[in-house]
Amino acid sequence: MAISNINTIISNDFQKVWNIVLAVDKYNSWRSDLSKTEIINDKQFIEYTKNGYATTFTVTVVEPYKRWEFDMENSNMKGHWIGVFIDKGNETQIDFTENVIPKKWFMKPFVKTYLKKQQKQFVLDLKKALE
């Protein structure tokens, strides 16, 4: 099991940050790592990397403008993601935690590094989209 966390301040309106992060259907317009997202229903969606690799997400918790959680799974891993959003006036604090279990033993040493890289890229893309 690998746990990775990113906690940072976004210099933008709280509701705008929440709305862009939860607008899964628009991810391909601002996320540099994805080619598309497919909405299955109001609880499930699939993200496709630029190489077409699919990850399925199942939403488990939605506390509007506060918390968003989902389970995720693909052929290499399964895990859980927790996103906490905190209103700081003209800024938004985001606290995202991923807990992932690799399905292949040889991936274990690399999972945490990969998660950190993914989280950093997500935040960079998010900040750019909010400019």
* CATH number for the domain harbouring residue 50: 3.30.530.20
Adjacent-strand bridge partners of 96: 6, 83
Instruction: Give me the tens of pLDDT residue by residue for the chain, a chain 131 residues long.
Output: 899 999 999 999 999 999 999 999 999 999 999 999 999 999 999 999 999 999 999 999 999 999 999 999 999 999 999 999 999 999 999 999 999 999 988 888 888 898 999 999 999 999 999 98
Look at residue 109 in the predicted model and tell me its pLDDT. 86
Long-range contacts of 61-68 (CB under 8 A, 24+ apart): 64/18, 65/14, 65/15, 65/18, 68/21, 68/22
Kindly report the pTM of this predicted structure.
0.92
Q: Provide the number of structural domains found in the chain.
A: 1
Domain of residue 35 covers: 2-129
Look at residue 64 in the predicted model and tell me its pLDDT. 95
68 close to 54: Cβ distance less than 8 angstroms: no
Which tokens belong to 108?
């274990």
The arrangement of strands across the sheet holding 44-49 comes to: 2-10, 91-102, 77-88, 67-73, 54-63, 44-49, 34-39
User: Taking Cα atoms as reference points, which of 47, 75, 76, 77 lies closest to residue 59?
Assistant: 47
Query: Which residue matches tokens 């966390």?
Result: 5
